[in-house]
Structure 1
């Protein structure tokens, strides 16, 4: 009887984590696909614009890094926190830092690269910020377990 209750709790926790990961991933993708992050944040609207032949070299542009817009810090913090949350959820599901970091990093790369096809500016430095969020979860968990 007790064993069955434990198994039920574990299954319930697993289902909740899987659903949380799916919803969080969809949330990150919505932010990736929307044409204007500012319209999403303030007007709560999103639109899609497909670019069939994006400038792939723009992924490596750093010249816009110096052109801070009013929401720059908020958007970059969103990158950091968004992928930190994803990594934390994945780690709690699979209990492996290596795999959670790997999956989170691949997802971060895909979201940045795919932005080029949606009229957005996917950037390598955004991938670096995403990665810092991912790795921060690893170090915080290591420190807390020590």
Structure 2
């Protein structure tokens, strides 16, 4: 939040960066074909008014396929970055954890409405990125005990 040495404009700009990043993640998450976005920079959405809710609790993908390993690493990295941005804005571990959890669940459920594969396992993969960031913050406590001060500068 806004501290003693902080200004409202700076807070609003940092919050804007978070909103832009979250918007970018949402577009990439719900675009009909992530590969098409990468290959031809074409973003398209196909809405599904009747998603298969059971598929949210299934995970039928190969854990060993290189493309899925890379994709899941991207999930974790994206949420590591999101956690960093949230920490810059809110400076509270609980805010980072709660907002990251909300967004992880939201994006995975939203994918069901856009002919994408949203699943509970991906929520945990997303949150592994958040957990990694929180671990880095915890390990970087300075002598005063302030969490993340060394990470955030």
TM-score bin (small chain): 0.7 to 0.9
Select 1:15's aligned residue among 9, 12, 15.
12
> SS of 1:63's equivalent?
coil
| 4+ aligned runs moved over 6 Å, structure 1 | none
TM superposition shift of 1:67? 7.5
Verify: 1:139 aligned to 2:141, yes or no: no
Question: TM-score normalized by structure 1?
Answer: 0.87
TM superposition shift of 1:17? 1.1
Select 2:36's aligned residue among 39, 62, 83.
39
Look up the match of 2:56.
Answer: 59
Q: CA RMSD, aligned part only?
A: 2.0
Look up the match of 1:86.
Answer: 82
Instruction: Spell out, residue by residue over 1:98-139, the C-alpha distance to the aligned partner (whole angstroms, 9 max, x if none).
Output: 111101110110000110000000011111110100111111
Look up the match of 2:149.
Answer: none
Select 2:24's aligned residue among 23, 27, 39.
27
Q: Gapped runs of 5+ residues in structure 1?
A: 1-5
TM superposition shift of 1:46? 1.4
Instruction: Spell out, residue by residue over 1:20-53, the C-alpha distance to the aligned partner (whole angstroms, 9 max, x if none).
Output: 1011000110012200111111111111111111
Which of the pair is proportionally richer in helix? 1
TM superposition shift of 1:8? 8.4
Question: TM-score normalized by structure 2?
Answer: 0.83
Select 1:50's aligned residue among 47, 56, 80.
47
Between the two proteins, the alignment pairs up a number of residues equal to 140
> Which whole-Å CA distance do the structure 1 matches of 2:139 and 2:10 have between them?
24
Range 12-21 or range 54-63, more displaced: 12-21
